[in-house]
Amino acid sequence: MERIRYMSTRGAETQIEASYAILRGIAKDGGLYVPDRIPAIDMDINDMVNMSYQEIAYQVMKDYLSDFTENELKNCIRKAYDDKFDTQCIVPVVKKGDVTYLELFHGSTIAFKDMALSILPHLMTTSMKKQGIDQEVVILTATSGDTGKAALAGFADVEGTRIIVFYPKDGVSPIQEKQMVTQKGDNTYVVSIDGNFDDAQSGVKDIFTNIEFRKTLGENGFRFSSANSINIGRLLPQVVYYFYGYAQMLKQEEIKAGEAINIVVPTGNFGNILAAYYAKKMGLPVNRLICASNDNKVLYDFFRTGIYNRKRDFKLTISPSMDILISSNLERLLYEMTEFSGAQTEELMSQLNKHGEYAIKNMNEFSCFYGNYATEEETYAAIKEVYDERGYVIDPHTAVGYCVYKKFREETADERKVLLASTASPYKFTKSVMKAIDPKYNEIDDLALIDELKATSGVPVPNAIKEILEEESRHQRDCETENMQNVVASILNIEL
């Protein structure tokens, strides 16, 4: 079979090897790398029932990473999915009532980003050797809360790399911020910005596409890459857990072989649900992909109207990892919507940049997506409902997914079995979770509520939380959005 290669969604690059795409992160024309085709899974999904997570990961990713040898890819998988996860199965699949939860938060930073960011550093260092790179790779990342810590933990003290994370000062939970600013590692740098996540993300993209700055970097022995889900090496590992979740539902006799399920994904940047879409295109039996938004409901409006419009107030919510108005990974789907036209995709993204919106006409071809959203009040109510009825504690992002799932059922009367991506541990959002369960906790500090959550949930305090309680802040940089490039130059000791 001909090897899969990659191309830019904006048309300037084609026939790119996976290792090069992973190293670069974003294409030279500002587009995102996509595979030239989606491979069909080449084994019967029934055969995955008794396979380990690591074994399924190899089967799902091997065709995408066609310039990796079998030993290279299996070595990356082995190093990624090991005892840094608090359960041997890596991803517990838990049925509560009529919902099966895909618990993606058992890694070292207790959020779903660990699933991809545990393997990305190994994919990247392997790619460096394959491409003969002797420059130091600078990982430049914007975060709305979870990517930052997971990327920092993944790349900490990885030889030949440095990582710089920008986050919105008032746009993450206290525990998310504490996790980042206490991160160890001589190659880790954390910077808060006076803006929101979209400001941070746009600033990072501007740095990536600044040709002169990249040239200066190269002259000083550095090259940029990304740990955001704009990096194809972040996106592909996320496809794996949807196959694993389906196999576990088969094993638990929740579904029959070949039975189509619905998948619910709380999403902001669109990467996690795009991975589910890739899984569907590979042959996973999926009926609808339910895109769950919070009050920043730009994706809901897009799937209802075909118009993507970021010209609206940015809202800070209790599900901060979804507080996003520019969903970067949607560009990969947009490329398909324009029948793989780089020129049309570039024009639409230009319209978004200049005018704040664009419109798509052929939405019917993507009717497998369903969009809806949950308000703050509905999110709190969902946490309480699941706890009261099932004794199961979920975080605010998972609660958004649960609420939208209920709306989907009411609107469509679709009773297919559902797999809900549970994207973070409730321990990352103690105050919001405990306040939802009982308003009496509203005046108590986030960190002080850890023991209360333990008693309520019956779930032990994760090591990721224990570790930060006694740690002092190691990172105290902050900057205005327009000064992000200068901060990067200062960290790298480069004169502009």
Enumerate the active-site residues.
113
- The string of DSSP letters for 370-396 reads EEEE--HHHHHHHHHHHHHHHS----H
Alpha-carbon torsion (369, 372, 373, 378), positive or negative: negative
Whole-angstrom Cα distance, residue 302 to residue 22? 29
Whole-angstrom Cα distance, residue 268 to residue 299? 8
Dihedral, CA of residue 74, residue 155, residue 225 and residue 302, to nearest 10: 90
| 152 and 188 Cβ atoms separated by less than 8 Å | yes
- The string of DSSP letters for 400-452 reads HHHHHHHHHHHHH-----EEEEE-B-GGGGHHHHHHHH-GGGGGS-TGGGHHH
- The string of DSSP letters for 316-385 reads --S-GGG--SS-TTHHHHHHHHTTS-HHHHHHHHHHHHHHSEEE-S-GGGGTTEEEEE--HHHHHHHHHH
Whole-angstrom Cα distance, residue 187 to residue 24? 19
Phi, psi of 101 (to 5 degrees): -95, 130
Whole-angstrom Cα distance, residue 486 to residue 494? 9
Place of tokens 């600078």: 138
What are 421's two structure tokens? 């991506």
- Identify which of 259, 266, 277 has the alpha carbon closest to the alpha carbon of residue 299: 266
